[in-house]
Amino acid sequence: MNDSNKLEYGKHLKTKLSKPFNLPVSILAAVMAISILHGENISSALVELPGDGTVVIRQEQTGQWVELSSEIPFSEKDFVLGRLPALEKFVSCFRGTSSCWMESRVGASVAEVPAETQFLLARLADGNYLAMVPLLDGAFRSSISGGADGRLHLLVESGDTNATTKRITGLYVEVGPEPFALVRSATARVRARQQPVVADAVPQVPDFVRYFGWCSWNAFYDKVTHAGVMQAMRKFEEGGVSPGFVVLDDGWQSAADKMLTGYEANPERFPDGLAATVRELKQAHHVSRVLAWHAYNGYWRGSDPRSLPALGIQMVKPFLPARLMSAPVVQSTEKEGALPRAFYPTVYRNSIGEPDLSKFFAAYHGFLRKQGVDGVKIDAMSWVETLGEDRGGRVRATRELVDATVRSEREIFDHNVIWCSSCSNDCVLQSPRSAVMRTSTDFFPDKKESHGRHVINNALNSLWMGEFIIPDWDMFQTHHLAGKFHAAARAISGGPVYVSDELGKTDFAMLRQLVLSDRTVPQCLGPARPTADSLFIDPAREPALFKVFNLNPAGGGVLGIFNCGYDPATKRLVSGRACVDDVPGLAGEEFAVFSHGENSLRRVTRADHLPLALRELEFEILTLVPIREGFAAIGLADKLNSGGCVSALRQVKPGHVEVDLRDGGEFLAWSRNSPQAVLANGRKLDFGFDKETHALRVDVPRGRPVTLIFEPS
């Protein structure tokens, strides 16, 4: 913060409680720098902190709401919270080099907590875990940072110098013995309080997520054409694996001077119009869903009021407080008029054309739907936070965008929307759970050091964002050096699986491990998350494997193990181990484990640990299934997410098992005994049984769902 923006404090911080002092010492110690001094009241236990405000800790059964107030009204204020004396390690999800994206950082001291932290999970010395979630309150949003003095700070801001307050509830804090239950409990409390535009109890997964997809971005960047898109479809068909959904990314629109000038497609690139392109994709190439990209206000500089006079467009100069305007991420931009690396819109010397979003979305999205478009990818959504001045603040501006997006999502596009560049808590905490939201910055083909970090950031962000939205880990390229690495991560991410392959460069053998015959993908039950022993490590910098887990519909789990390091000189080999307890929620004591890379099957117990050793950008995927009555259905061994191919399993009687598969392929199961026969639709299939490993393998005809019946000997 600049000296001109620093707030002067003249008094010591006062502390009040809304209930008598009967709070767990560990919570108080974690929240407000309490020394563990038994028998003393809360005021004398506090370290003296400078400030002119009051902090009220409002206790609930499971956690605490931190209320902050000042004698002087403020639109931006840096409150000092205090120390974390019991801190061992923390992981922060924060906005670093961009307003649009979240990153992650692991540390061991408060001073290391980065500015713009929007979620903090800490491991405490007593073995408990602590979760901190900065909140939205009226026109204000909060974020955490660590000070060089070893104290936590809470920055509270409205984004409008005219929107002021004296009191705010800025933070929720909860402590618990198990990290995943803690995150779920804390985020549920926050979600209930924040009152999103639509309070979904359970997310409705959009239809396009079921399908394998292709996006035009890395294939064409902003030079996409009708001819190029159709050529890409023909290349997929020649290889035998075709997308079920297509995203027409940046470059398809009518635009000039980086402003939207019309609803129809660029006539030079799409000479027959958008409807003709969509129609050919669906009729000639059997694409089920087509999505079109646009920036939230039209294009990078918004919409042109001269070309679109009916939209109530205002020319607005983005506003950022001085502390951000002087930051290196804003000043470090490309040449004038180009898209800024920092993804802040303030580099444009001219104002941005901001349409009335309700009118704009109703008109634009209505037009797109009439052309056959099934959904949209809305970009640069976090930019709206810079447009709060004289408009009620950033939270209100974001809510207007969220409200308009949700209306289109539900009334026009049947939920087929990708929320992009939207990783601000202004947006996340107000969004419906059905929102498919990008959870990290882009897949960058030319940044070799980015690929391990991409997986780490997405998994850690999904840990808490996945309680609010459906995470999207972005597209990737199958022909890339790190293509298999990204494919493995997407296969178990729980979100959409789509690529941006260049013409003629697709690795179809890889795609066949991701995609079923009907162009859908084997899906997990929810967002992938890091395992407990991967939460507080930085595997991009230290020699440790990064493990990510998920659950599958038929009751098993999947564990992805990744070497996320980057050292081109050594390509270091990193060792680690995996066990059943890496996947919370698996019941039983005896399990079948399939190692995808080794193509091996073994029986393990909870006490067993499997050794692993991987080089940089190598991975292993383990499918773990409880053995019940001598049988465990792994699924299709030729798919990266084998267990996601099993939709149901029924043990009709001892030894008689029925397995519903979403497609044919190389079926694998662990079976105590060899069956007498394996049937599919009344027809006997050949099978192989290994008496030593108890591996039961069946080559099932591909092309449609099938029910396998295993008859006992």
Residue 257's nearest CA partner among 314, 318, 300 is: 300
CA dihedral over 564, 565, 568, 569, signed as positive or negative: negative
Instruction: Give me the amino acid identity at 230.
Output: M
184 is in which domain, residue-wise? 3-194
Which of 378, 409, 438 corresponds to the end of one domain? 438
List CB contacts of 124: < 8 A, sequence separation 6 or more: 26, 30, 86, 87, 88, 130, 175
pLDDT band for position 477 (50/70/90)? very high
Residues 305 and 430 in one domain: yes
Question: 302 with 256: CB under 8 angstroms?
Answer: no
Residue 671's nearest CA partner among 688, 685, 684, 683 is: 688
CA-to-CA dists, residue 387 to 159, 261, 302, angstroms:
8, 21, 12
Would 445 be classed as within a structural domain? no
The pLDDT of residue 686: 97
pTM for the full model? 0.91
The pLDDT of residue 198: 77
The pLDDT of residue 344: 56
236, HSE (Cβ side, Cα atoms, 13 Å): 31
Is the pLDDT reported for residue 603 higher than 90?
yes
Would 497 be classed as within a structural domain? no
Would 486 be classed as within a structural domain? no
Domain count, the chain: 3
Residues 613 and 547 in one domain: yes
Helix (H) or strand (E) holding 461: helix 450-465
Is the pLDDT reported for residue 9 higher than 80?
no
Is the pLDDT reported for residue 30 higher than 50?
no
The pLDDT of residue 82: 85
Percentage of the chain exceeding pLDDT 90: 80
535, HSE (Cβ side, Cα atoms, 13 Å): 24
pLDDT band for position 195 (50/70/90)? confident
Residues 158 and 266 in one domain: no
The pLDDT of residue 58: 83
Would 515 be classed as within a structural domain? no
pLDDT band for position 204 (50/70/90)? confident
Question: 231 with 402: CB under 8 angstroms?
Answer: no
- Model pLDDT for residues 518-576, shown as the tens digit of each residue: 999 999 999 999 999 999 999 999 999 999 999 999 999 999 999 999 887 777 899 99
Would 137 be classed as within a structural domain? yes
CATH number at residue 561: 2.60.40.1180
Greater confidence (348 vs 21) lies with 348
Question: 665 with 675: CB under 8 angstroms?
Answer: no
pLDDT band for position 351 (50/70/90)? confident
Q: Work out the angle between the directed axes of helices 450-465 and 179-194 (0-180°, nearest 10).
A: 60
Helix then strand then coil, % of the chain, to nearest 5: 25, 35, 45
Structure tokens at 494: 């729980």
pLDDT band for position 631 (50/70/90)? very high
Using the structure block, give the residue that is written with the tokens 């690495």: 485
Which of 149, 173, 194 corresponds to the end of one domain? 194
d(C-alpha 663, C-alpha 335), whole Å: 51
Eight-class DSSP state of 408: H
Is 699 buried (19+), middle (13-18) or exposed (0-12) by CB count in 10 A?
middle
pLDDT band for position 14 (50/70/90)? very low
Span of 96-100, 184-188, 196-200 with lowest mean pLDDT:
196-200
pLDDT band for position 7 (50/70/90)? very low
Residues 184 and 258 in one domain: no
Question: 674 with 712: CB under 8 angstroms?
Answer: no
Torsion, Cα 443 444 448 452, to 10 degrees, reads: -20
SS3 (DSSP) at 690: coil
SS3 (DSSP) at 69: strand
d(C-alpha 180, C-alpha 183), whole Å: 5
Greater confidence (570 vs 444) lies with 444
Is the pLDDT reported for residue 343 higher than 70?
no
d(C-alpha 187, C-alpha 468), whole Å: 8
Mean pLDDT of 219-234: 97
- Model pLDDT for residues 488-529, shown as the tens digit of each residue: 999 999 999 999 999 999 999 999 999 999 999 999 999 999
Residues 113 and 244 in one domain: no
Percentage of the chain exceeding pLDDT 70: 88
The pLDDT of residue 319: 79
Residues 636 and 694 in one domain: yes
d(C-alpha 309, C-alpha 304), whole Å: 8
Residues 261 and 149 in one domain: no
Residues 159 and 231 in one domain: no
The pLDDT of residue 134: 98
pLDDT band for position 133 (50/70/90)? very high
Is the pLDDT reported for residue 317 higher than 60?
yes
List CB contacts of 356: < 8 A, sequence separation 6 or more: 311, 312, 313
Would 130 be classed as within a structural domain? yes
Helix (H) or strand (E) holding 438: strand 436-438
Residue 316's nearest CA partner among 329, 302, 330 is: 302
Residues 181 and 242 in one domain: no
Average pLDDT, the chain: 88
Question: 380 with 302: CB under 8 angstroms?
Answer: no
Would 345 be classed as within a structural domain? yes
Residue 294's nearest CA partner among 414, 420, 482 is: 420
The pLDDT of residue 345: 61
Residues 179 and 230 in one domain: no
CA-to-CA dists, residue 704 to 49, 517, 660, 661, angstroms:
67, 7, 11, 9
Residues 160 and 217 in one domain: no
Question: 547 with 582: CB under 8 angstroms?
Answer: yes
Is 289 buried (19+), middle (13-18) or exposed (0-12) by CB count in 10 A?
buried
The pLDDT of residue 348: 54
Span of 36-45, 437-446, 453-462, 601-610 with lowest mean pLDDT:
36-45
Greater confidence (47 vs 454) lies with 454
Which of 194, 227, 252 corresponds to the end of one domain? 194
Long-range contacts of 70-75 (CB under 8 A, 24+ apart): 70/166, 70/167, 71/166, 72/166, 73/164, 73/165, 73/166, 74/7, 74/156, 74/164, 74/165, 74/166, 75/157, 75/158, 75/160, 75/161, 75/162, 75/163, 75/164
Structure tokens at 117: 């932290």
Span of 79-88, 219-228, 558-567, 577-586 with lowest mean pLDDT:
79-88
Residue 229's nearest CA partner among 172, 280, 189 is: 280
Mean pLDDT of 315-326: 73
Would 443 be classed as within a structural domain? no
Residues 126 and 261 in one domain: no
The pLDDT of residue 323: 67
- Model pLDDT for residues 650-687, shown as the tens digit of each residue: 998 887 999 999 999 999 999 999 999 999 988 999 99
The pLDDT of residue 286: 98
Residue 32's nearest CA partner among 96, 81, 95 is: 81
d(C-alpha 7, C-alpha 87), whole Å: 28
Task: Cite the DSSP H helix spans in 332-449.
Answer: 357-370, 394-411, 425-428
Strand ranges inside 564-671, DSSP E: 573-578, 590-595, 600-605, 610-615, 619-626, 631-636, 646-653, 656-661, 665-671
CATH number at residue 420: 3.20.20.70
